[in-house]
Structure 1
Protein backbone atom coordinates (compact mmCIF):
# COMPACT_ATOMS: atom_id res chain seq x y z
CA UNK A 1 0.00 0.00 0.00
CA UNK A 2 1.47 3.32 -1.09
CA UNK A 3 -0.92 5.56 0.85
CA UNK A 4 0.33 7.07 4.10
CA UNK A 5 -1.53 6.01 7.26
CA UNK A 6 -1.97 8.74 9.85
CA UNK A 7 -3.39 7.24 13.03
CA UNK A 8 -4.97 9.39 15.75
CA UNK A 9 -5.71 8.60 19.38
CA UNK A 10 -9.41 9.34 18.89
CA UNK A 11 -11.79 10.76 16.31
CA UNK A 12 -11.90 14.20 17.95
CA UNK A 13 -8.17 14.68 17.48
CA UNK A 14 -8.47 13.32 13.94
CA UNK A 15 -11.32 15.70 13.08
CA UNK A 16 -9.50 18.72 14.47
CA UNK A 17 -6.39 18.04 12.43
CA UNK A 18 -8.28 16.90 9.34
CA UNK A 19 -10.67 19.84 9.17
CA UNK A 20 -7.81 22.34 9.50
CA UNK A 21 -5.77 20.57 6.84
CA UNK A 22 -8.70 20.56 4.40
CA UNK A 23 -9.37 24.25 5.06
CA UNK A 24 -5.72 25.10 4.45
CA UNK A 25 -5.65 23.20 1.16
CA UNK A 26 -8.88 24.81 -0.03
CA UNK A 27 -7.63 28.30 0.79
CA UNK A 28 -4.34 27.53 -0.97
CA UNK A 29 -6.32 26.49 -4.04
CA UNK A 30 -8.30 29.72 -3.89
CA UNK A 31 -5.13 31.75 -3.59
CA UNK A 32 -3.62 29.98 -6.58
CA UNK A 33 -6.61 29.62 -8.92
CA UNK A 34 -9.38 31.88 -7.61
CA UNK A 35 -11.51 28.93 -6.51
CA UNK A 36 -11.18 25.46 -4.99
CA UNK A 37 -13.09 22.21 -5.23
CA UNK A 38 -13.87 19.73 -2.46
CA UNK A 39 -15.39 16.29 -3.07
CA UNK A 40 -16.76 14.58 0.04
CA UNK A 41 -18.24 11.24 1.02
CA UNK A 42 -21.48 10.54 2.83
CA UNK A 43 -22.34 8.36 5.81
CA UNK A 44 -22.06 9.07 9.52
CA UNK A 45 -18.26 9.11 9.83
CA UNK A 46 -17.62 12.59 8.38
CA UNK A 47 -20.42 14.44 10.19
CA UNK A 48 -18.40 15.66 13.23
CA UNK A 49 -15.51 16.63 10.97
CA UNK A 50 -17.88 18.51 8.66
CA UNK A 51 -19.14 20.55 11.60
CA UNK A 52 -15.60 21.61 12.50
CA UNK A 53 -14.80 22.33 8.85
CA UNK A 54 -17.92 24.46 8.42
CA UNK A 55 -16.59 26.90 11.03
CA UNK A 56 -13.17 27.41 9.41
CA UNK A 57 -12.48 30.96 8.34
CA UNK A 58 -11.75 30.63 4.63
CA UNK A 59 -13.30 32.16 1.51
CA UNK A 60 -16.15 29.69 1.31
CA UNK A 61 -17.92 31.66 -1.43
CA UNK A 62 -15.08 30.55 -3.71
CA UNK A 63 -15.35 26.84 -2.83
CA UNK A 64 -17.22 24.32 -4.98
CA UNK A 65 -18.43 21.23 -3.13
CA UNK A 66 -19.80 17.95 -4.47
CA UNK A 67 -20.24 14.37 -3.33
CA UNK A 68 -18.07 11.58 -4.66
CA UNK A 69 -21.29 9.55 -4.92
CA UNK A 70 -24.90 9.50 -3.83
CA UNK A 71 -27.79 7.09 -3.60
CA UNK A 72 -30.51 7.71 -6.19
CA UNK A 73 -33.15 8.77 -3.67
CA UNK A 74 -35.07 11.95 -2.95
CA UNK A 75 -33.55 14.48 -0.58
CA UNK A 76 -36.33 13.70 1.87
CA UNK A 77 -34.98 10.15 2.17
CA UNK A 78 -32.68 9.48 5.13
CA UNK A 79 -30.36 7.63 2.74
CA UNK A 80 -29.57 10.82 0.79
CA UNK A 81 -25.96 11.91 1.12
CA UNK A 82 -26.91 15.33 -0.25
CA UNK A 83 -29.35 15.84 2.60
CA UNK A 84 -26.63 14.95 5.09
CA UNK A 85 -24.19 17.42 3.54
CA UNK A 86 -26.85 20.13 3.59
CA UNK A 87 -27.34 19.68 7.34
CA UNK A 88 -23.78 18.87 8.44
CA UNK A 89 -21.44 20.84 6.18
CA UNK A 90 -23.28 23.62 4.34
CA UNK A 91 -23.86 25.52 7.57
CA UNK A 92 -22.10 28.22 9.57
CA UNK A 93 -19.34 29.86 7.49
CA UNK A 94 -19.57 27.14 4.83
CA UNK A 95 -23.21 28.01 4.08
CA UNK A 96 -22.07 30.31 1.25
CA UNK A 97 -20.14 27.57 -0.58
CA UNK A 98 -21.37 26.44 -3.99
CA UNK A 99 -22.76 22.90 -3.67
CA UNK A 100 -23.76 20.86 -6.71
CA UNK A 101 -25.80 17.74 -6.03
CA UNK A 102 -26.17 14.64 -8.17
CA UNK A 103 -29.86 13.80 -7.91
CA UNK A 104 -32.07 14.86 -10.80
CA UNK A 105 -35.74 14.31 -11.62
CA UNK A 106 -34.91 11.13 -13.54
CA UNK A 107 -36.44 8.06 -11.93
CA UNK A 108 -33.67 5.81 -13.21
CA UNK A 109 -30.08 6.78 -12.41
CA UNK A 110 -28.80 5.26 -15.66
CA UNK A 111 -30.98 7.66 -17.65
CA UNK A 112 -29.42 10.62 -15.82
CA UNK A 113 -25.72 9.98 -16.38
CA UNK A 114 -25.18 12.60 -19.09
CA UNK A 115 -27.25 15.20 -17.23
CA UNK A 116 -25.33 14.67 -13.99
CA UNK A 117 -21.97 14.71 -15.74
CA UNK A 118 -22.79 18.08 -17.33
CA UNK A 119 -23.47 19.54 -13.87
CA UNK A 120 -19.77 19.29 -13.06
CA UNK A 121 -18.33 20.64 -16.31
CA UNK A 122 -17.55 23.95 -14.60
CA UNK A 123 -15.62 22.33 -11.74
CA UNK A 124 -11.90 22.97 -12.15
CA UNK A 125 -9.63 19.96 -12.45
CA UNK A 126 -7.64 18.71 -10.74
CA UNK A 127 -9.93 18.75 -7.71
CA UNK A 128 -8.19 20.28 -4.70
CA UNK A 129 -9.35 17.75 -2.09
CA UNK A 130 -11.16 14.41 -2.47
CA UNK A 131 -12.31 12.56 0.65
CA UNK A 132 -13.18 8.89 0.24
CA UNK A 133 -14.81 6.43 2.59
CA UNK A 134 -14.62 2.64 2.61
CA UNK A 135 -17.21 -0.06 3.20
CA UNK A 136 -16.65 -3.35 4.97
CA UNK A 137 -16.51 -4.98 1.50
CA UNK A 138 -13.73 -2.68 0.35
CA UNK A 139 -15.93 -0.51 -1.86
CA UNK A 140 -15.36 3.22 -2.13
CA UNK A 141 -17.57 5.92 -3.61
CA UNK A 142 -20.26 3.76 -5.26
CA UNK A 143 -17.73 1.48 -6.90
CA UNK A 144 -18.78 -1.87 -5.45
CA UNK A 145 -17.06 -5.24 -6.01
CA UNK A 146 -20.52 -6.75 -6.51
CA UNK A 147 -21.90 -4.41 -9.17
CA UNK A 148 -22.11 -5.20 -12.88
CA UNK A 149 -20.60 -1.80 -13.63
CA UNK A 150 -17.36 -2.49 -11.70
CA UNK A 151 -15.05 -2.91 -14.70
CA UNK A 152 -16.35 0.25 -16.34
CA UNK A 153 -16.05 2.30 -13.16
CA UNK A 154 -12.39 1.27 -12.84
CA UNK A 155 -11.42 1.77 -16.49
CA UNK A 156 -13.64 4.39 -18.13
CA UNK A 157 -12.42 7.87 -18.95
CA UNK A 158 -15.88 9.24 -18.14
CA UNK A 159 -16.17 11.27 -14.95
CA UNK A 160 -19.64 10.16 -13.89
CA UNK A 161 -21.62 6.93 -14.11
CA UNK A 162 -24.49 5.09 -12.49
CA UNK A 163 -24.01 1.83 -10.59
CA UNK A 164 -26.35 -0.68 -8.99
CA UNK A 165 -24.84 -2.84 -6.24
CA UNK A 166 -26.38 -6.21 -5.46
CA UNK A 167 -25.34 -6.17 -1.80
CA UNK A 168 -26.65 -2.69 -0.93
CA UNK A 169 -29.92 -0.88 -1.63
CA UNK A 170 -30.58 1.80 -4.25
CA UNK A 171 -29.13 2.72 -7.58
CA UNK A 172 -26.18 5.09 -7.23
CA UNK A 173 -24.40 7.87 -9.08
CA UNK A 174 -20.66 8.07 -8.65
CA UNK A 175 -17.49 9.73 -9.83
CA UNK A 176 -15.29 7.12 -11.51
CA UNK A 177 -11.77 6.04 -10.65
CA UNK A 178 -10.21 8.24 -13.34
CA UNK A 179 -12.20 11.28 -12.22
CA UNK A 180 -11.31 10.86 -8.55
CA UNK A 181 -7.64 10.45 -9.41
CA UNK A 182 -7.76 13.79 -11.20
CA UNK A 183 -7.09 15.52 -7.90
CA UNK A 184 -4.31 17.16 -5.94
CA UNK A 185 -4.91 15.29 -2.68
CA UNK A 186 -6.82 12.13 -1.77
CA UNK A 187 -7.90 11.14 1.73
CA UNK A 188 -9.50 8.02 3.16
CA UNK A 189 -11.42 8.84 6.35
CA UNK A 190 -11.88 5.87 8.71
CA UNK A 191 -13.13 5.55 12.28
CA UNK A 192 -13.42 2.32 14.24
CA UNK A 193 -11.49 -0.88 14.88
CA UNK A 194 -13.49 -2.76 12.26
CA UNK A 195 -12.44 -0.30 9.57
CA UNK A 196 -8.80 -0.67 10.58
CA UNK A 197 -9.19 -4.44 10.23
CA UNK A 198 -10.62 -4.03 6.73
CA UNK A 199 -7.84 -1.60 5.83
CA UNK A 200 -5.14 -4.07 6.90
CA UNK A 201 -6.85 -6.82 4.93
CA UNK A 202 -7.10 -4.59 1.88
CA UNK A 203 -3.46 -3.58 2.21
CA UNK A 204 -2.43 -7.23 2.03
CA UNK A 205 -3.76 -7.66 -1.51
CA UNK A 206 -3.71 -6.00 -4.91
CA UNK A 207 -6.91 -7.04 -6.72
CA UNK A 208 -8.87 -3.83 -7.35
CA UNK A 209 -11.99 -5.76 -8.38
CA UNK A 210 -12.06 -7.60 -5.07
CA UNK A 211 -11.67 -4.35 -3.11
CA UNK A 212 -12.00 -1.21 -5.27
CA UNK A 213 -10.43 1.03 -2.60
CA UNK A 214 -7.12 -0.59 -3.62
CA UNK A 215 -7.29 1.40 -6.87
CA UNK A 216 -6.58 4.48 -4.77
CA UNK A 217 -4.45 3.11 -1.95
CA UNK A 218 -2.01 1.39 -4.30
CA UNK A 219 -1.43 4.23 -6.76
CA UNK A 220 1.33 6.81 -6.62
CA UNK A 221 -0.04 9.41 -9.04
CA UNK A 222 -1.89 11.41 -6.36
CA UNK A 223 -0.77 11.86 -2.74
CA UNK A 224 -3.09 9.92 -0.44
CA UNK A 225 -3.41 9.91 3.34
CA UNK A 226 -5.47 7.49 5.40
CA UNK A 227 -6.92 9.45 8.32
CA UNK A 228 -7.60 6.74 10.92
CA UNK A 229 -8.93 6.70 14.48
CA UNK A 230 -9.95 3.42 16.07
CA UNK A 231 -11.93 5.06 18.87
CA UNK A 232 -14.50 7.84 18.92
Structure 2
Protein backbone atom coordinates (compact mmCIF):
# COMPACT_ATOMS: atom_id res chain seq x y z
CA UNK A 1 0.00 0.00 0.00
CA UNK A 2 1.55 3.35 -1.01
CA UNK A 3 2.57 5.00 2.28
CA UNK A 4 3.25 8.29 0.46
CA UNK A 5 -0.51 8.77 -0.07
CA UNK A 6 -1.75 7.70 3.36
CA UNK A 7 0.36 6.66 6.33
CA UNK A 8 -0.37 2.99 7.01
CA UNK A 9 -0.77 1.52 10.50
CA UNK A 10 -0.93 -2.28 10.32
CA UNK A 11 -1.88 -4.51 13.25
CA UNK A 12 -1.71 -8.30 13.59
CA UNK A 13 -5.43 -8.67 14.30
CA UNK A 14 -8.67 -6.68 14.40
CA UNK A 15 -8.71 -6.30 18.19
CA UNK A 16 -5.21 -4.84 18.33
CA UNK A 17 -6.12 -2.60 15.41
CA UNK A 18 -9.21 -1.35 17.26
CA UNK A 19 -7.16 -0.53 20.34
CA UNK A 20 -4.49 1.24 18.28
CA UNK A 21 -7.12 3.28 16.48
CA UNK A 22 -8.91 4.13 19.73
CA UNK A 23 -5.67 5.51 21.18
CA UNK A 24 -4.98 7.50 18.03
CA UNK A 25 -8.46 9.02 17.91
CA UNK A 26 -8.53 9.74 21.65
CA UNK A 27 -5.26 11.65 21.35
CA UNK A 28 -6.63 13.77 18.50
CA UNK A 29 -9.84 14.49 20.41
CA UNK A 30 -8.00 15.46 23.57
CA UNK A 31 -5.76 17.76 21.53
CA UNK A 32 -8.88 19.43 20.15
CA UNK A 33 -10.34 19.92 23.60
CA UNK A 34 -7.05 21.27 24.96
CA UNK A 35 -6.49 23.68 22.07
CA UNK A 36 -10.05 24.83 21.33
CA UNK A 37 -12.23 23.76 24.24
CA UNK A 38 -14.24 21.35 22.06
CA UNK A 39 -13.68 18.42 19.70
CA UNK A 40 -15.64 16.75 16.91
CA UNK A 41 -15.51 13.11 15.81
CA UNK A 42 -17.19 11.78 12.66
CA UNK A 43 -17.63 8.01 12.51
CA UNK A 44 -18.95 5.42 10.07
CA UNK A 45 -21.24 2.43 10.44
CA UNK A 46 -20.93 -1.23 9.54
CA UNK A 47 -19.47 -4.15 11.47
CA UNK A 48 -15.79 -3.21 11.16
CA UNK A 49 -15.84 -0.28 13.64
CA UNK A 50 -17.59 -2.12 16.50
CA UNK A 51 -14.36 -3.23 18.28
CA UNK A 52 -12.97 0.28 17.77
CA UNK A 53 -16.12 1.85 19.25
CA UNK A 54 -15.91 -0.42 22.28
CA UNK A 55 -12.25 0.39 22.84
CA UNK A 56 -12.78 4.13 22.40
CA UNK A 57 -15.71 4.12 24.83
CA UNK A 58 -13.33 2.96 27.57
CA UNK A 59 -10.63 5.52 26.76
CA UNK A 60 -10.12 8.61 28.91
CA UNK A 61 -11.08 11.75 26.98
CA UNK A 62 -12.78 14.93 28.16
CA UNK A 63 -15.98 13.46 26.70
CA UNK A 64 -18.45 16.19 27.80
CA UNK A 65 -16.60 18.51 25.40
CA UNK A 66 -16.72 16.07 22.47
CA UNK A 67 -19.42 16.00 19.78
CA UNK A 68 -19.96 12.86 17.69
CA UNK A 69 -21.82 12.57 14.42
CA UNK A 70 -22.04 10.15 11.50
CA UNK A 71 -20.52 10.10 8.03
CA UNK A 72 -23.84 8.73 6.76
CA UNK A 73 -27.11 7.20 7.87
CA UNK A 74 -29.72 4.86 6.47
CA UNK A 75 -33.19 6.42 6.50
CA UNK A 76 -34.54 4.00 9.08
CA UNK A 77 -35.94 4.33 12.61
CA UNK A 78 -33.05 4.84 15.08
CA UNK A 79 -33.86 1.55 16.79
CA UNK A 80 -33.75 -0.44 13.52
CA UNK A 81 -31.06 -3.15 13.32
CA UNK A 82 -29.51 -1.46 10.26
CA UNK A 83 -29.42 2.04 11.77
CA UNK A 84 -25.96 3.54 12.20
CA UNK A 85 -27.31 5.63 15.06
CA UNK A 86 -28.31 2.44 16.87
CA UNK A 87 -24.83 1.02 16.29
CA UNK A 88 -23.12 4.10 17.72
CA UNK A 89 -25.41 4.33 20.73
CA UNK A 90 -24.97 0.63 21.51
CA UNK A 91 -21.18 0.44 21.17
CA UNK A 92 -19.58 3.91 21.34
CA UNK A 93 -21.81 6.08 23.54
CA UNK A 94 -21.22 3.82 26.51
CA UNK A 95 -19.00 3.99 29.59
CA UNK A 96 -16.82 7.09 29.62
CA UNK A 97 -18.00 8.10 26.14
CA UNK A 98 -21.65 8.23 27.24
CA UNK A 99 -20.95 11.85 28.23
CA UNK A 100 -20.30 12.88 24.62
CA UNK A 101 -22.87 14.86 22.68
CA UNK A 102 -24.31 12.88 19.78
CA UNK A 103 -25.84 14.54 16.71
CA UNK A 104 -27.73 11.96 14.61
CA UNK A 105 -28.32 12.12 10.85
CA UNK A 106 -32.00 11.16 11.00
CA UNK A 107 -35.14 13.23 11.49
CA UNK A 108 -38.79 12.32 11.88
CA UNK A 109 -39.43 13.09 8.20
CA UNK A 110 -40.71 10.25 6.06
CA UNK A 111 -38.20 10.97 3.27
CA UNK A 112 -34.50 11.60 3.53
CA UNK A 113 -34.70 14.57 1.16
CA UNK A 114 -37.24 16.22 3.46
CA UNK A 115 -34.96 15.83 6.48
CA UNK A 116 -31.87 17.38 4.87
CA UNK A 117 -32.65 21.05 5.74
CA UNK A 118 -33.00 20.24 9.45
CA UNK A 119 -29.86 18.11 9.40
CA UNK A 120 -27.94 20.87 7.63
CA UNK A 121 -28.75 23.27 10.47
CA UNK A 122 -27.65 20.72 13.09
CA UNK A 123 -24.41 20.01 11.25
CA UNK A 124 -23.57 23.69 10.79
CA UNK A 125 -23.73 24.14 14.57
CA UNK A 126 -20.99 21.55 15.23
CA UNK A 127 -17.41 22.66 16.06
CA UNK A 128 -15.86 22.22 12.62
CA UNK A 129 -13.32 21.34 11.44
CA UNK A 130 -13.64 17.82 12.81
CA UNK A 131 -10.65 16.54 14.72
CA UNK A 132 -10.97 13.11 13.11
CA UNK A 133 -13.18 11.66 10.37
CA UNK A 134 -13.11 7.85 10.45
CA UNK A 135 -14.18 6.31 7.16
CA UNK A 136 -14.89 2.73 6.20
CA UNK A 137 -14.83 1.32 2.69
CA UNK A 138 -17.21 -1.11 1.05
CA UNK A 139 -16.25 -3.90 -1.31
CA UNK A 140 -17.30 -1.63 -4.19
CA UNK A 141 -15.03 1.22 -3.07
CA UNK A 142 -17.80 3.34 -1.56
CA UNK A 143 -17.30 5.37 1.57
CA UNK A 144 -19.96 7.05 3.73
CA UNK A 145 -22.96 6.62 1.40
CA UNK A 146 -21.11 7.77 -1.70
CA UNK A 147 -21.49 4.85 -4.10
CA UNK A 148 -19.89 4.29 -7.52
CA UNK A 149 -22.44 5.08 -10.21
CA UNK A 150 -24.84 6.81 -7.81
CA UNK A 151 -27.03 9.52 -9.32
CA UNK A 152 -25.95 11.81 -6.47
CA UNK A 153 -22.20 11.06 -6.58
CA UNK A 154 -21.13 14.01 -8.74
CA UNK A 155 -23.11 16.38 -6.53
CA UNK A 156 -21.60 14.91 -3.36
CA UNK A 157 -18.04 15.19 -4.70
CA UNK A 158 -18.46 18.70 -6.14
CA UNK A 159 -15.71 20.85 -4.61
CA UNK A 160 -17.92 23.89 -5.07
CA UNK A 161 -20.77 22.45 -3.02
CA UNK A 162 -21.25 24.25 0.30
CA UNK A 163 -23.92 21.99 1.82
CA UNK A 164 -22.65 19.46 4.34
CA UNK A 165 -25.13 16.66 3.63
CA UNK A 166 -27.41 15.34 0.92
CA UNK A 167 -30.03 12.67 0.37
CA UNK A 168 -28.79 9.57 -1.46
CA UNK A 169 -31.00 7.04 -3.22
CA UNK A 170 -30.93 3.39 -2.15
CA UNK A 171 -27.85 1.51 -3.40
CA UNK A 172 -27.86 -1.92 -5.00
CA UNK A 173 -27.34 -5.15 -3.09
CA UNK A 174 -25.29 -6.33 -1.22
CA UNK A 175 -25.54 -2.89 0.38
CA UNK A 176 -28.66 -2.33 2.50
CA UNK A 177 -31.16 -1.11 -0.15
CA UNK A 178 -32.68 1.89 1.64
CA UNK A 179 -32.43 5.63 1.04
CA UNK A 180 -29.77 7.46 3.01
CA UNK A 181 -28.26 10.74 4.03
CA UNK A 182 -24.53 11.19 3.53
CA UNK A 183 -22.06 13.88 4.39
CA UNK A 184 -20.67 15.52 1.27
CA UNK A 185 -17.00 15.67 0.33
CA UNK A 186 -17.02 19.24 1.64
CA UNK A 187 -18.00 18.01 5.13
CA UNK A 188 -15.92 14.81 5.14
CA UNK A 189 -12.79 16.81 4.35
CA UNK A 190 -13.54 19.62 6.79
CA UNK A 191 -11.25 17.87 9.23
CA UNK A 192 -7.78 17.86 10.68
CA UNK A 193 -7.35 14.12 10.10
CA UNK A 194 -8.90 11.47 7.83
CA UNK A 195 -8.70 7.81 8.86
CA UNK A 196 -9.58 4.84 6.65
CA UNK A 197 -10.37 1.82 8.85
CA UNK A 198 -10.44 -1.52 7.02
CA UNK A 199 -9.88 -5.20 7.71
CA UNK A 200 -9.30 -8.13 5.36
CA UNK A 201 -6.98 -8.74 2.43
CA UNK A 202 -9.64 -8.10 -0.24
CA UNK A 203 -10.25 -4.56 1.04
CA UNK A 204 -6.55 -3.88 1.28
CA UNK A 205 -6.13 -4.94 -2.35
CA UNK A 206 -9.06 -2.75 -3.40
CA UNK A 207 -7.63 0.23 -1.52
CA UNK A 208 -4.24 -0.31 -3.16
CA UNK A 209 -5.99 -0.39 -6.53
CA UNK A 210 -7.78 2.86 -5.75
CA UNK A 211 -4.49 4.48 -4.78
CA UNK A 212 -2.91 3.77 -8.15
CA UNK A 213 -2.83 6.87 -10.29
CA UNK A 214 -4.59 6.95 -13.63
CA UNK A 215 -7.83 5.10 -12.89
CA UNK A 216 -10.35 6.09 -15.53
CA UNK A 217 -13.18 6.08 -12.99
CA UNK A 218 -11.80 6.77 -9.50
CA UNK A 219 -13.60 5.07 -6.65
CA UNK A 220 -15.33 7.31 -4.06
CA UNK A 221 -12.80 6.33 -1.36
CA UNK A 222 -10.16 8.35 -3.23
CA UNK A 223 -11.66 11.52 -1.74
CA UNK A 224 -9.88 10.59 1.51
CA UNK A 225 -6.47 11.59 0.15
CA UNK A 226 -7.55 14.22 -2.36
CA UNK A 227 -6.38 17.18 -0.26
CA UNK A 228 -2.64 17.42 0.28
CA UNK A 229 -3.10 19.55 3.42
CA UNK A 230 -5.25 16.95 5.21
CA UNK A 231 -3.31 13.97 6.62
CA UNK A 232 -4.71 10.57 5.69
CA UNK A 233 -4.11 7.49 7.83
CA UNK A 234 -4.97 3.87 7.02
CA UNK A 235 -5.57 1.52 9.96
CA UNK A 236 -5.51 -2.04 8.64
CA UNK A 237 -5.39 -5.64 9.80
CA UNK A 238 -6.16 -9.00 8.23
The answer to whether structure 1 residue 162 and structure 2 residue 167 are counterparts is: yes
Equivalent residue, structure 2, for 1:186: 194
Structure-to-structure mapping, 1:98-113, within 5 angstroms: 98-113=101-116
Contact 1:40 1:68 in 2 (8 A): yes
Q: Which residue of 2 aligns with 1:31?
A: 34
Task: Indicate how the Cα distance of structure 1 residues 119 and 226 shifts in structure 2: closer, same or farther if over 3 A, else same.
Answer: same
* Change beyond 3 A, Cα 1:209–1:77: farther
Give the equivalent residue in structure 2 for 1:198.
Answer: 206
Cα distance in 1 for partners of 2:43, 2:74 equals: 14
CA RMSD after TM alignment: 1.4
Are the structure 2 counterparts of residues 14 and 105 from structure 1 closer, same or farther at C-alpha, using a change threshold of 3 Å?
same
Any idea what the Cα deviations from partners look like across 1:92-125, whole Å, max 9, x if unmatched? 0000100010111111101111111111222111
Task: State whether structure 2 residue 62 is matched by structure 1 residue 59.
Answer: yes
Structure 2 unaligned regions, length at least 5: none
> Comparing 42-51 with 201-210, which one deviates more in the overlay?
201-210
Deviation at 1:209, TM superposition (A): 5.2
Work out whether 1:80 is the aligned partner of 2:77.
no
Q: Tell me if the contact between 2:225 and 2:231 (Cα under 8 Å) persists in the aligned partners.
A: no
Partner SS, residue 158 of structure 1:
coil
| Alpha-carbon distance between aligned partners in 1 of 2:216 and 2:121, rounded to the nearest angstrom | 28
Count of residues in correspondence between the two structures:
230
Instruction: Note the C-alpha offset of 1:227.
Output: 0.4
Distance 2:48 2:42 in 1: 15
CA contact (8 A) 2:171 2:178 kept: no
Deviation (angstroms), 1:197: 1.8
The answer (yes or no) to whether the contact 1:150–1:209 under 8 Å persists in 2 is no
Which residue among 114, 119, 129 is the counterpart of 1:126? 129
Q: Counterparts of 2:216 and 2:104 in 1: how far apart (Å)?
A: 27
Give how far 1:218 is off.
Answer: 4.0
Please give the alpha-carbon distance, in whole angstroms, between the structure 2 residues aligned to 1:165 and 1:150: 12
Normalised to the residue count of structure 1, the TM-score between the two structures is 0.95
1:177 correspondence with 2:185: yes
- Alignment check: 8 A CA contact 1:138 1:210 kept: no
Q: 1:204 offset after TM fit, Å?
A: 2.2
